[in-house]
Amino acid sequence: MARFGSIVVLTGAGVSAESGLKTFRASDGLWEDHRIEDVATPEGFQRDPELVYRFYNMRRRQLMDPSTQPNLAHQALAELEQRFDGEFCLVTQNVDNLHEQAGSRSLIHMHGELTKARCLDSSEVFEHLEDLDGSTRCRCCGELGTLRPDIVWFGEMPMQMDQIYDRLERCDLFISIGTSGTVYPANGFVQVALAAGAHTVELNLEPSRQESAFAEQIYGPAGDVVPAFVR
Ligand code: BJW
C-alpha cells in the first residue's frame, strides 16, 4: 500500500455478511418478505409508515444484538486506515455501524445510518437506538410522528456526494468490497476512479455487474480476501 497516496474503499452488504447481516440481493436476501417499493421508498413510507418503522426496527434490533459483531474484513480496513500514511476514505453503502465498531474513522455513510432518525419538519438528525414508530415524540419539535429512519431510499439523493466525488477524483487506489454493483450512483464510482488514473480492485464473493471495469479482481469471502489484500 506504501506506493499509493490516496485510497478510497467502497463497501456494500457483502462486507457485513459474515457478521450475520443479510445482503440485499442474495436468494435469502433481506427483501424476501418485503417489496422494495413498500419499505425503501418515500412513497412506501407515506403509504404505510408503520410497516416501514417495523422493518427498520427489526433491522436495528438485529444490529444491536450482542451477537452482531464486526468481522475480520471490518477489522482489516480499520487497521489499514490506522497504518496508512496518505489520504484514506471509506465510503459505505451499509446502514449498519460495524465499520465504526471496528475502529474506522474516515467513514462516509452514503445511504444513511440505522442508528439515526431524522425530523421530517426540521431535517435535524438524532441518534436513535430504540424502536421508532408514529408515537415517538421528536426531540426537536416535540411532535408525534415526524421522525423517519435516517436512510437514503430509492429516488433520494445519497449523502455527502460532493465529498465522495472529491476523494474519488484524486485517489490512486480504489477498492470495491462486497457490493453487487447494481445501485446507482455507487456503481459508477469505479469509472470516476479510473478517469482519475487510479488502480481499481474488486474484492467480492462473485463477479459484480461492474466486474469488467476493475483492473484486478479477487473473489472469496470478505473475511478472507480483505485481510489478505490489505495486509
Ligand atoms: C459477499 C459476501 C461475503 C455476499 N464476502 N462478498 C430506475 C427507476 C428508478 C430509479 C432508478 C432507476 N435506475 C436507476 C435508478 C436510481 C436508483 C437505482 O440505482 N436503482 C437500481 C436498483 C436500478 N438509485 C437511487 O435511487 C439512489 N439515488 C439516486 O440515484 O439519486 C439521484 C442522484 C444521485 C447522485 C447524483 C445525482 C442524482 C438511491 C439509492 C438508495 C439505495 N438504498 C438501499 C436501501 C436503503 C438502505 C437500507 O435499508 O439498508 O441501499 S437499496 C440497497 O442496495 C441498500 C444498499 O446499500 C444498496 C447496494 O446493495 P449492495 O451493498 O451492493 O448489496 P447486494 O446485496 O446487492 O450485493 C451484495 C454483494 O456482496 C453481492 O455481490 C454478493 O456476491 C457479495 N457477498 N456475501 C464478500 N461473505
What ipTM was predicted for this assembly? Answer: 0.96
pLDDT of residue 27: 61
Q: Kindly tell me if the per-residue pLDDT of 26 is higher than 80.
A: no
pLDDT of residue 182: 94
Same domain, 30 and 2: no
| Angle of CA points 21, 25, 27, to nearest 5° | 85
Q: Which amino acid, 225?
A: V
Same domain, 15 and 26: no
Q: Residues 6 or more apart from 102 whose CB is under 8 A from it?
A: 70, 74, 75, 77, 78
Same domain, 213 and 172: yes
Instruction: Give me 128's grid cell.
Output: 436513535
Q: How confident is the model at residue 31 (pLDDT cuts 50, 70, 90)?
A: low
pLDDT of residue 30: 57
Atom nearest to 95 CA in ligand 1: 50
pLDDT of residue 6: 97
Give residue 39's domain range: 22-67+112-151
CATH number for the domain spanning 96: value is 3.40.50.1220
Domain count of the chain? 2
pLDDT of residue 32: 55
Over residues 9-16, the mean pLDDT reads 98
Q: Kindly tell me if the per-residue pLDDT of 84 is higher than 80.
A: yes
pLDDT of residue 24: 85
Mutate to test the pocket of ligand 1, among 154, 179, 201 (most ligand atoms within 8 A of CB): 154
Question: Does the Cβ of 27 fall within 6 Å of ligand 1?
Answer: no
Question: Does the Cβ of 159 fall within 6 Å of ligand 1?
Answer: no
Same domain, 89 and 181: yes
Cα 63 to Cα 89: distance, rounded to the nearest angstrom = 23
Q: When comparing pLDDT for 43 and 142, which is higher?
A: 43
Same domain, 202 and 95: yes
Same domain, 165 and 209: yes
* Catalytic center residues: 111
Q: Which amino acid, 65?
A: D
| pLDDT tens digits along 147-206 | 999 999 999 999 999 999 999 999 999 999 999 999 999 999 999 999 999 999 999 999
CATH number for the domain spanning 50: value is 3.30.1600.10
